Amino acid sequence: MAGDGKYDVIVIGSGPGGYVACLRAAELGLRAACVEKSDRVGGACLNVGCIPSKALLESSRYYTLARKRFQEHGIVLDDQVLDLPVMMARKSEVVRGLVENVRKLLENAGVALIRGTARLAGEHRVEVTRDGEKTMLEADAVVLATGGEPVPVPSLPFDGCRIVSSTEALDFDRVPEHLAVVGGGTIGLELGSVWSRLGARVTVIEMMPGIAAVADGQVSRTLERLLGRQGLEFRLRTKVTGAEVTDEQVVLTLDADGKEDRIACDRVLVAVGRKPFTGGLGLEALGIGTDPRTGHVLVDERYRTGVASIYAVGDLVPGPMLAHKASAEGIAAVECIAGLPGEVNYDTIPSVIYTSPEVAGVGLTEEQARERGLSFVAGSCPFTGSARARCIGDTDGFVKVIAHGRTGRLLGVHIIGPEASELIGECAGALERNATAEEFARVVRAHPTLSEAVRDAALIVQSSRKRG
């Protein structure tokens, strides 16, 4: 097996936490190896998560625009035919190209890519198994970056056909007539949107009183209303208590505030969250602790486990399960291994839901600021007032800026609307610099652009503070 020997760092997993950690190690002059059990690098995010879902979201958005919006622009198409196999092939090609890019990045950086399943065999040893052959590797430090896996629901066991995880929902061979989505979080809303746009009836079943629980409350309520207008049906404060599966359909038994109901559908997507994937790593044998409730690997501020030479990042450790959070932690962990002050500012990590409209946020929500007892001022600017939004015909949503009432320092920015995923970047940068609402508003944006709505929301906050 290629790559036998001694390394400075061995990283287990080639997802966004793992491969980025390897690249940073190479930049710092460390001899690095990446162990990956799959034939393809990139982890779940690249192969069966973030990237294929965004490719389908984009394709389905174009399909919706062609059917419902092109005529507004004087573009008349006689036929709008969905060729699902072509759409799926494009998605696969996007993934294939990015997988190859990651492989080349590792190769060009001099990182040894070792194929096989890894198990910790000691404080500095990793056993790799492939096709029955075992190879022992050694390193001064090991970084665990094995990512996460879908959380199952006891009443809805995955069968890969009728009751599926997000992985199978990315590869349906036909548009479901009725898709039930269990879970109103990011994954459920994004994939529900894909299949709704392509013609499926979609019912989202959520135990909580609202969808997108991590979002600002005003944003969450607005998203529910706008997605409902697009045709998604929401069954809130509802849980699934049972399922009857036949060759043709699934009949779900629901409990809504003690009232039983049943709905029939032909596919069920279970998207209630993800959990750390630690199976087979050998954590217990080395005494590496995990949270008994969540399964997260316990680490200190330097991402070290209870074994000083073994580190963990990404979905394995507490915090939002986001690819960019994993990458930041991978870099920080390797910097700590190299003796540098690696760290991650968790207060400025943005999150995005790629529905239409998009949702993006960074920093504190209004609810969180209130829970902490902070003095704050919040200001919102609707996209209906944006010249650019009117030009592109996408005026749903708003920008909300939250600032400290006394100092004016930005506490959070939350956006629902066009290109929210791109707009949130400058907002995260402003929070990282501890900018005030006034400083943020003074930045000159080009006209006409959507970013002017961000400026205007900051101006509203600043005006409110002066009046207060």
Give the start-end residues of each E strand in 6-68.
6-12, 32-36
Q: Is 263 annotated as a binding residue?
A: no
How far is it, in rounded angstroms, from Cα 417 to Cα 75?
24
Segment 286-294 long-range contacts (CB within 8 Å, at least 24 positions apart): 286/120, 286/122, 286/123, 286/310, 288/120, 291/318, 294/318
Is 296 a residue of the active site?
Answer: no
368: left (phi over 0), alpha (psi -120 to 50) or beta: alpha
Q: Is 324 annotated as a binding residue?
A: yes
Pairing mode of beta strands 133-144, 125-130: antiparallel
Helix intervals (H) in 261-414: 283-286, 323-337, 366-371, 387-392
Residue in this structure with the two tokens 């207008």, named with its chain if needed: 229
Residue environment code for 142-167, b if the CB has 16+ CB neighbours within 10 A, otherwise e: bbbbbbbbbeebeebebeeebbbbbb
Q: Is 206 annotated as a binding residue?
A: yes
Q: Is 405 annotated as a binding residue?
A: no
CB 59 within 8 A of CB 53: no
> Of 401, 418, 421, 399, which Cα lies nearest the Cα of 409?
401
Determine which one of 124, 296, 414, 447 is catalytic.
447
Q: Which residues are within 8 A (CB) of 228 and not within 5 positions of it... i.e. 6 or more apart?
A: 234
Q: Is 110 annotated as a binding residue?
A: no
Q: Is 184 annotated as a binding residue?
A: yes
Structure tokens given for 242: 């049972």
How far is it, in rounded angstroms, from Cα 12 to Cα 171?
27
> 127: which DSSP letter?
E
Alpha carbon separation from 462 to 268, 383, 441 (Å, rounded): 47, 19, 8
Residue in this structure with the two tokens 């400026």, named with its chain if needed: 455
CB 307 within 8 A of CB 144: no
Catalytic center residues = 447
* Residues contributing to the annotated binding site for NAD(+): 183-190, 206, 273
* Residues contributing to the annotated binding site: 54, 183-190, 206, 273, 315, 321-324
* Residues contributing to the annotated binding site for FAD: 54, 315, 321-324
